[in-house]
Amino acid sequence: MVLKGSNENVAFVIHSLKIGGSEKFFINVVNHLQKEGYNPLVILLGDNNPLINELDKNLKIQVINRKFKYDLSIAFRIRDIVKANQIFKIFCVEPFSFFLSKLPFVFDNSVQFYLSLHNSLPISWKKYILDMLFVRFIGKQDTVIYICKYQQECFKKLYFFKPSQSYVVYNGVNTDFFSPKNTLQSINSEKLNWKNQMGIRDEELVLVMIGRLSKEKGQIYAINALKVLHLKRKFLPHLIIVGEGTPDMEKRLRQLVIQLGMHRYIHFTGSQFEIRHFLLQADAFVMTSLSETFSIAALEALSMGIPCSVTRIGGAPELLADEHFGILCEPANIQSIASSWEQLLQRKKNDQAIRATTISKFSINQMISGYKKILSS
């Protein structure tokens, strides 16, 4: 990254640009820094990058193909790119990217590293052991950036990790883009008519959940919770599930919907690059994840003025600290999830207050300001 009037360069390194929260974060950061006069050098450690076209067209991008997942030889290709571009600061997303970038510079203090963490609890013992190894390479002059206070405490307790320099910068979203006004102006009427296309009447309530179809995202609990809500007969909302997963997972979820007799009220949309039209007409956003650090999908919903029901995991209590934002429920607890949905649907929706508070606390501008201060310090 080159600041106008400065000769300081910074490289931004990530494993790949698959569809996910940390990848969206990465794109937001480099794109906004580019617009503010920076010139980031983007290094992608793999050729599976479906989101690469969302990067600013003026960015300089280097794609390094790995022969296999833990191909350590690419560490020296990163070194060559960094030295060729006279780079002395490297910003890495997640421990694996950091480890590969840091390896050739272990004894070279001329390069400063920034590690941006986006996960908290490891998904397996293998991941835990590897991350435990990777973060040991953080030097005294290097900086670690957490996306919530919970994550900071989690790494301290689980990984016995307390770096010399660390900061907490909350995730942020583009509140101008994720706004009802912008959505109505930029999305065609056919897309905005999705409720009618799905056979949902105007007066019927709609819950929206967004994320890949996986065990960790907990769609199974959401489907069961909707059945519990319908059995009470007080509310009969529809559930829109946005995202895709493995064929086996999708088949399992669809079979459960049929088994519970909920096919009229549960709708699968598949993967969607545009999600604002779903949020625009949602009565609530729901998240039933078993593992999450600080949900960008929930922030996007809040930016649209939509109240949220989120499982009490990771930084969720920090995310929903404002009383307007929504309700926490217990993970893997169908009754708790259903109860939180019922309470949310009973509330009077205060979309203007939700949106205003989101802009003040979680805008992309605030997040970028935080990273600029850290990079320039």
Residues 137, 98: contact at Cβ < 8 Å? yes
How far apart are the C-alpha atoms of 357 and 18, rounded to whole Å? Answer: 30
Task: Assess whether 267 and 319 both reside in one domain.
Answer: yes
Task: Assess whether 207 and 327 both reside in one domain.
Answer: yes
Task: Assess whether 164 and 210 both reside in one domain.
Answer: no
The residue among 168, 192, 221 that closes a domain is 168
Task: Assess whether 96 and 215 both reside in one domain.
Answer: no
Residues 24, 104: contact at Cβ < 8 Å? no
Task: Assess whether 80 and 101 both reside in one domain.
Answer: yes
Task: Assess whether 318 and 230 both reside in one domain.
Answer: yes
Instruction: Please check whether residue 369 lies inside any domain of the structure.
Output: no
Residues 277, 183: contact at Cβ < 8 Å? yes
Task: Assess whether 164 and 189 both reside in one domain.
Answer: no
Task: Assess whether 227 and 164 both reside in one domain.
Answer: no
CATH assignment at residue 337: 3.40.50.2000
Residue for token digits 């078993």? 290
Instruction: Please check whether residue 373 lies inside any domain of the structure.
Output: no
Task: Assess whether 302 and 351 both reside in one domain.
Answer: yes
Task: Assess whether 150 and 279 both reside in one domain.
Answer: no
Domain range enclosing 29: 10-168
Q: 29 — phi, psi (to 5°)?
A: -65, -50
Instruction: Please check whether residue 277 lies inside any domain of the structure.
Output: yes
Could you tell me where the beta strands, DSSP code E, fall in 147-205?
165-168
Classify 31 as helix, strand or coil. Answer: helix
pLDDT band at 2 (very low <50, low <70, confident <90, very high): very low
Residue 344's Cβ-side half-sphere holds a number of Cα atoms within 13 Å equal to: 30
Q: How far is CA 240 from CA 77, 126, 226, 285, in A?
A: 44, 34, 11, 10
Average pLDDT of 106-116?
A: 93
Task: Assess whether 219 and 290 both reside in one domain.
Answer: yes
Long-range contacts from 1-7, C-beta under 8 angstroms, 24+ separation: 1/30, 1/33, 1/38, 1/39, 1/40, 1/41, 1/89, 1/375, 2/38, 2/39, 3/37, 3/38, 3/376, 4/37, 7/86
The residue among 168, 201, 220 that closes a domain is 168
- pLDDT over 70 (residue 7): no
How far apart are the C-alpha atoms of 254 and 164, rounded to whole Å? Answer: 49
Instruction: Please check whether residue 159 lies inside any domain of the structure.
Output: yes
Instruction: Please check whether residue 5 lies inside any domain of the structure.
Output: no
Q: pLDDT for 194-248, tens place per residue?
A: 999 999 999 999 999 999 999 999 999 999 999 999 999 888 999 999 999 999 9
Work out how many domains the chain is built from and give that number: 2
Average pLDDT of 341-354?
A: 91
The residue among 100, 135, 168 that closes a domain is 168
- pLDDT over 90 (residue 75): yes
Instruction: Please check whether residue 17 lies inside any domain of the structure.
Output: yes
Classify 310 as helix, strand or coil. Answer: strand
Residue 100's Cβ-side half-sphere holds a number of Cα atoms within 13 Å equal to: 26
Instruction: Please check whether residue 377 lies inside any domain of the structure.
Output: no
Task: Assess whether 161 and 187 both reside in one domain.
Answer: no
**How does strand 112-116 pair with strand 308-311?**
unpaired
Instruction: Please check whether residue 259 lies inside any domain of the structure.
Output: yes
Q: pLDDT for 256-273, tens place per residue?
A: 999 999 999 999 999 898
- pLDDT over 50 (residue 1): no
Q: What is the pTM of this model?
A: 0.86
